[in-house]
Amino acid sequence: MDFKKIRKSALRFLSWVGLTASSLIIKLIPACLLYKFADIVSFLAYRFAVKQRQVALESLAIAFGQDKTKEQMERIARDCFIFMAKSAVELMFLMDKPLILKERVSIEGRENLDLALTGGCGVILVSAHFGNFPLLLGRLAVGGYKAAGIMKPMHDARVEKIFLEKRNKFGVKTIYSQPRDVCVNNTIQALRNNELVFIPIDQNFGSGGVFVTFFGKKAATAAGPIILSQRTHAALLPCFIIRQPDDTHKIIFEPALKLEEGENSQDTILINTQKLTNIIEAYIRKYPAEWGWIHRRWKRQPEEV
């Protein structure tokens, strides 16, 4: 009997039950109590999700071990769990409330986005699992932009179905990262239609990526945005969504990245992937609790030669 498999199945079932129950609670409680509920969820998660808490603290030690105290890193990890709980609650609450969503999410640098769209070749929104990034896509969709996001399917199909339905309600197109060839074809088609495609490049990547420096350590990183931009002439636009002190949000669009040519094609990909990663790192350093530290970002390392 495979007890590890049984344990995983049980945990996924409990996650689905918890998500379903939370959705019901959010529908029933007054809006003024939403963040109180999120505080309860984050407290329980930080206490009982031992593995995820440990991964967060280990990741923070890699990134900030020389710059921050243990207490400071523990505070960031705790705030990270709070922000994730708030984000989940906001998604479930705002999904069918486009007018409220518009009010709660402002946009800075819209001129950078609109200028990038004038190229007619689509826009690759390069970002990270940073802040309430699904709200970023939702805000763009309800604002009249054709937006799609490249998503990795969740392990539990029931949970994935819930979030897929929520993205559909927002009007956000989902492009699944697998199968790879289908993902590439769907992404190219969206860009040729002059749409926005959101691609986060902040997680550990398998074969086909490149190793760039992230917080002083090599990290396997997706090179897809650079390759797609070269192939389609789509603009590369870094963007981030940042939680404000009053729990509203602000989307920031940076100016489009101009590709720097290297000595060869591979060098060009490496140089520009590093430039995008540097931008992501700068935002994480400024707003550390906004990033998903529960992911093993540096898991894959270059082979020793």
Residue 300 lies in a domain: no
Residue 297 lies in a domain: no
**Number of structural domains in the chain:** 1
d(CA 130, CA 138) in angstroms, rounded, equals 15
DSSP per residue, 80-145: HHHHHHHHHHHHHHHTT-HHHHHHHEEEE-HHHHHHHHTTSS-EEEEE-SBSSHHHHHHHHHHTT-
Closest to 137 in 3D by CA, of 183, 72, 91? 91
Q: Could you give the C-alpha distances from 190 to 122, 142, 150, 197, 234, in angstroms and in order?
A: 7, 18, 11, 7, 10
Residue 30 lies in a domain: yes
Question: 162: domain range?
Answer: 3-290
Residue 64 lies in a domain: yes
Q: How confident is the model at residue 15 (pLDDT cuts 50, 70, 90)?
A: low
Residue 299 lies in a domain: no
Residue 302 tokens, joined? 């270059």
Q: How confident is the model at residue 305 (pLDDT cuts 50, 70, 90)?
A: very low
Bridge partner residues of 217 (DSSP): 214
Contacts of 242 (CB under 8 A, 6+ apart): 131, 249, 250, 251, 252, 287, 290
DSSP H or E segment with residue 279:
helix 265-286
**Contact (CB, 8 A) for 273 and 201:** yes
Amino acid at residue number 292: G
Query: Which of 13-22, 71-80, 189-198, 240-249 shows the lowest per-residue confidence on average (mean pLDDT)?
Result: 13-22
Residue 149 lies in a domain: yes
Residue 296 lies in a domain: no
State yes or no: pLDDT of 180 exceeds 70. yes
pLDDT, tens digit, 9 for 90 and up, residues 241-286: 999 999 999 999 999 999 999 999 999 999 999 999 999 999 999 9
Length of the chain: 305
Residue 235 lies in a domain: yes
DSSP per residue, 151-187: EPPPSSHHHHHHHHHHHHHHTPEEEES-SHHHHHHHH
Q: 258-267 long-range CB contacts below 8 Å, 24 or more apart?
A: 259/226, 259/229, 259/230
Q: Give mean pLDDT, residues 154-164.
A: 77
Query: Which of 126-140, 197-211, 225-239 shows the lowest per-residue confidence on average (mean pLDDT)?
Result: 197-211
